[in-house]
Amino acid sequence: MDTKINETLDCKGLSCPMPMMKLAKTMKGMKSGEVLEMLGTDPGTKSDIPNWCQKTGNLLLEQIDLEGGVNRFVLQKK
């Protein structure tokens, strides 16, 4: 995937609800069309982020599992 990442949010080691709170705050400060990469270890984000995107209209472009229990999400602001 060759999407230009505008910002990276490191939420590794944080547990619910902090990753989602940080995600919402960061996305609020971004411009429409910008792309955010979020890295996290909270297993709840695997379902929370797609649900949040569905509610907010933001796009989940990519969701993959990395080594060490890290999840990578790439989101585009609506």
Active site residues: 16
65: how many CB neighbours lie within 10 A of its CB?
A: 10
CA distance 10 to 6: 14
For residue 72, give the amino acid letter.
R
- The region, left, alpha or beta by phi > 0 then psi within -120 to 50, assigned to residue 33 is left
